[in-house]
Structure 1
Amino acid sequence: MLKLKIMIPMVLIVLAGCSQQVRNPDTGSTTKNQGDSLYVVLKIKNVIKAGEKINLQFVVHNDQSTSKSFCKWHTPFEPLMSKYLDITDENGNEVSYKGPMAKRIMPPPADSYLAVKPKDTLLADVDLLKAYQLEAGKKYTIVYNSSGISGLKATNKATFILQK
């Protein structure tokens, strides 16, 4: 019973993550994320030939009139440290992730946040071959799965065919 009492607060701390707050880059203060700020659009070529780089563009948009920030953890704005994309083939089979999985301290330090100016975007490229086992001759669907960590809302799924 004592172990359970200790574990429950630890789970709550881990679940708190970055997404529950938005850091104001001008003042350094944090506020609850109201869902009115940043969103992600995933972009990739429709057809990619085997042997070519499989480059996904991860574009963060701020349509608001004030600067907004997000936690860069579980996004391509930091070195590859987690599985923040779910990739499935046309049969619904999940593609194997072969990259690192980092553990984090909570709450995130101030340098874990990136600011996006009003009416601006930030772009990061992801080489999917660095972390996923993709096979030629298949169609793939990519979904951003880490809104709960970064605070970013994904607006789309990206699809591509990896030709032989």
Structure 2
Amino acid sequence: MTAAAVLAAGCHSQKPIVVQGNSGNNALSGAEILSVRLGSTSVRNTADSVGVSFTVSNNTDSPVRFCKWETPFEPRLGKYFEVSDDKGNEAAFKGAMARRVMPPPAEAYIVVAAHDSVNTSVNLAKNYSIQTGKYTVKYVGGGVSGLRSGNTISVSVAGTN
């Protein structure tokens, strides 16, 4: 299989998203190739458990791969979410950060089949200091993953019983 690199517009650190196969005529922009969608996985969030789903969808007729680094597919490594309370204060990140040797090895990539999606769920409370209240959550995107930021979600965090 040949691979055609499709560069997404944006900052120079944005990595290419690779469309596999003979889709050189693909007229989609980087943002349209793979899309990111967040969702809430919990009916009742607490300061110890704030469930968020992360879905990457392929909007093309060919398989597409992206690097899982700096995404929830590699949990607890890196600050790839913006988590802010209803006053605009950012929740403190308490997770691990990683420095990488470039380029990423083959096992660092996830292939998404044509017109398909992959998803995972994370507990934000493991990486962010979260208290009772309302928060907005956004995937920041960019970097080595090549993914764009997606939607912003609101989550309410209840007090403990």
Q: Normalised by the size of structure 1, how large is the TM-score?
A: 0.77
Amino acid aligned to 2:113: K
| Unpaired segments ≥5 residues, structure 1 | 1-14, 28-32
- % identical equivalent positions: 34
Q: Which residue of 1 aligns with 2:59?
A: 63
1:26 shift after superposition: 6.0
Q: Which residue of 2 aligns with 1:146?
A: 141
Larger radius of gyration: 1
Q: Which residue of 2 aligns with 1:6?
A: none
| Unpaired segments ≥5 residues, structure 2 | 1-10, 23-27
The SS at the match of 1:95 is coil
Runs of 4+ in 1 over 3 A off after TM superposition: 23-27
1:46 shift after superposition: 7.8
Task: Identify the match of residue 160 of structure 1 among 132, 155, 161.
Answer: 155
Q: How does 1:1-164 map to 2 (within 5 A)?
A: 19-24=14-19, 34-35=29-30, 36-44=32-40, 48-50=44-46, 53-136=49-132, 138-164=133-159
Q: Aligned partners of 2:43, 2:89: CA distance in 1, in Å?
A: 19
Root-mean-square deviation (Å):
2.4
**Residues 64-88 of structure 1: CA distance to partner in whole angstroms, max 9, x if unpaired?**
1111111100111113210110100
Change in CA separation of 1:141 and 1:46 when aligned onto 2, cut-off 3 Å = farther
Q: Normalised by the size of structure 2, how large is the TM-score?
A: 0.78
